[in-house]
A and B are shown apart, each in its own frame.
Chain A
Amino acid sequence: MLKAKGLTFRIGEKVLLDGVSFEGTPGKLLAILGPNGAGKSTLIRLLSGALKAHAGSITWKDQVYPGNAKSLLARTRSVLTQKLHLSHPFSVEEVVMMGRYPHFKRYPQGNDKEIVRDWMKRTDTQRFGKRLYQSLSGGEQQRVQMARTLSQITGMEAPCLLLWDEPLNNLDIRYQHDCLGTARSMAQAGHVVMVVMHDLNMAAQYADQILLLKGGKRLSFGRTERVFTAENLAQCFDFPAYVSKHPNLNCLQVSFGNSFSAHPETQPTDDLPTLST
């Protein structure tokens, strides 16, 4: 549905992305992974149209992307960027309502308010809806921005395009799971959802497909079980990797380590220190 072919992007001599091809499919949650400087954020900015590729092409629903239908695109595509900085003191509700701007002319309609209220409830941000955005913690701000990007495409016919650049930043465990759970349910509703992230185990639990990047090149792309092999991950992150079946959940589990990281002299033993009572 969203097809990227041979995407290349340079700044001066430095090649940030080098011939990356992949496809986002409705119904599948795609996680974009890779070490620092792999080109993940550059890729998201190409996919959102903020940057123009030096070579390669992107098509969305078989049309050249981002194309000229900008107002339609604003209603069917939403982007969550990193390091958002709000320049004026808006309330949380006002920030989430900005997601509905492409849908009304001057004043929000009844269904805009309903959609905003609904997403604020689902991201657990309605409790501080009247507070100033700047007074929130980083994780709370992140959830507000998620509610905004989700409100933006709600009510439009699937497939819409949802691009999230590191949405898990600053979130604690529960909200990390809420976040990716929401991303997956958006995918299951028929949307194309792409998420840049760092936590491989979260990706293993939620993503249907993985795009593994390294040094601006595509290392691997495909179903999670195919991409998450010890060889792929070790090569990608330059560190010995282990992949196993998760003991409790129906997914893979990833860990990294070498002999130095495993406390060689503390062998597992039965005589644990006992507490005197």
Chain B
Amino acid sequence: MNKARWILVSLGAGLILVSIWSMSQGAVKVSWWEIFNILGYKLGLNDLQPALEKKVAIFWLIRFPRVLMSVFVGMSLAICGTAMQGLFRNPLADPSLIGISTGAALAAALVIVLGGTLAAAWGGAVGMYVLSIATFTGAVVASFLVFFIGREKGRTNVATMLLAGIAINALAGAMTGLLTYLADDVQLRDLTFWTLGSLGGTTWGKLGIVSVASLISLIIFLNFGKAFNALSLGEEEASYLGIEVERLKFVVVLATGLAIGCSVAFCGVIGFVGLVVPHLLRILGGADHHYLLPASALGGGLLLAFADTVSRTLLAPAELPIGILTALVGAPFFLFLLYQQRLKFE
């Protein structure tokens, strides 16, 4: 077995272990045996231990979907980061840095504040779909903007790309600020939730939408291993190797919009996961996207499951918004990357 496979297997095992650990942590502690007992009961494999009857509701309706949500959102963020970095041919592209996540969050804010009355009329379930469609659109529009502004003669101008990201972030920030000003108290709470990012409030319904979006983009990206590798030679060179570059760009932007849009719709903006995870995995096992794409998905899920557990247990009973946590760790890491790149080009 080669190194890349070892890393993938370890990440897979780590993801499962961390998920179970995460399910056991919280205000109500649930032991591993109790977790297996409840899961077995839900699958119809065994009877529920009578002592667990009180814990079942908490576990099944709140904690279990929340942990799965963190795994799927982490997968989406990390694999979309890898895909964006492959497409832009630059390791600094991250959905939150270049404005894709904030574009989606702005769309969410617009729906909450301006479409609030409409959503109320439609009821909760329909509102949920309207919200995901809006964030999807916001994410796709932002990616297209950054992509076309940041391109120059078939190459990404990194400075322009990051500046376009800053501009979109600033614009979305200002408009979200304006909406905050207009919002009533309930809407204000919702808006804060979106800008800071949180996995609290996860329901099975929301998990359903996010997991489907995440899996669709995962399946699409896992087939692009060769294409992303070839693209690292340059767009022209990739086309000489039979890669249909224009089609690839289009599909990547749409799939990213879908995965990022849906995760922002229900969990808000969680930054830097798409930057940190692929970077570390490249150092560990190389840049081959046949390895990097699945490894990012597993690693992203693992990291976010862990981070979410920390965010809800560190200041218990209060909760630290996970977006703040990832930014606290991720932003210094980003500065470190910039510093490293500066050294390389000198």
Instruction: Using CB atoms and an 8 Å cutoff, list the residues of chain A in contact with chain B.
Output: 48-50, 70-71, 73-75, 77-79, 81, 84-91, 94-95, 98-99, 101-102, 106-107, 152
Contact = CB atoms under 8 A, between A and B. Distances in A.
A101 B241 contact: yes
Counting from the closest, the 8 A-B pairs by CB-CB distance are: A74-B242, A87-B89, A88-B287, A102-B242, A87-B232, A88-B232, A79-B240, A101-B241
Given A81-B236, A90-B286, A75 B225 contact: no
A73 B229 CA distance: 19
A89 B240 contact: no
Nearest to A75: B242
Contacts of A84: 233-234, 237
Contact of B241 (A88, A91, A152): A152
Given A88-B85, A91-B286, 19 more contacts: A49-B239, A50-B236, A71-B242, A74-B241, A74-B242, A81-B234, A81-B236, A87-B89, A87-B91, A87-B231, A87-B232, A88-B86, A88-B282, A89-B287, A94-B229, A101-B226, A101-B230, A102-B242, A106-B225
Contacts of B229: 90, 94, 98, 101
Contact of A90 (B225, B226, B232, B241): B232
B244 interface: yes
28 contacts: A49-B239, A50-B236, A74-B240, A74-B242, A77-B240, A79-B237, A79-B240, A81-B236, A84-B233, A86-B232, A86-B233, A88-B85, A88-B89, A88-B91, A88-B232, A89-B282, A89-B287, A90-B232, A90-B286, A91-B286, A94-B288, A95-B233, A98-B229, A99-B241, A101-B226, A106-B226, A107-B290, A152-B241
B242 A101 contact: yes
Interface string B33-60: 0000000000000000000000000000
Interface in B193-237: 225-226, 229-234, 236-237
A84 B241 CA distance: 14
Interface string B262-302: 00000000000000000000100011101000000000000
B1 to A, nearest CB: 15
A79 B286 CA distance: 26
A87 B90 contact: yes
Interface of B: 85-86, 89-91, 225-226, 229-234, 236-237, 239-244, 282, 286-288, 290
B180 to A, nearest CB: 39
B302 to A, nearest CB: 22
B241 A98 contact: yes
Contacts of A106: 225-226, 290
A89 B241 contact: no
A70 B244 contact: yes
Contacts of B239: 49-50
A98 B230 contact: yes
B282 A48 contact: no
Contacts of B290: 106-107
Contacts of B226: 101, 106
Nearest to A107: B290
Contacts of B85: 88
Contacts of B231: 87
Given A74-B242, A106-B226, A89 B286 contact: yes
Contacts of A89: 282, 286-287
A90 B86 CA distance: 13
A117 B290 CA distance: 20
Contacts of A50: 236, 239
A107 B288 CA distance: 12
Nearest to B240: A79
A83 to B, nearest CB: 9
Nearest to A105: B226
A101 B240 CA distance: 10
Contacts of B225: 106
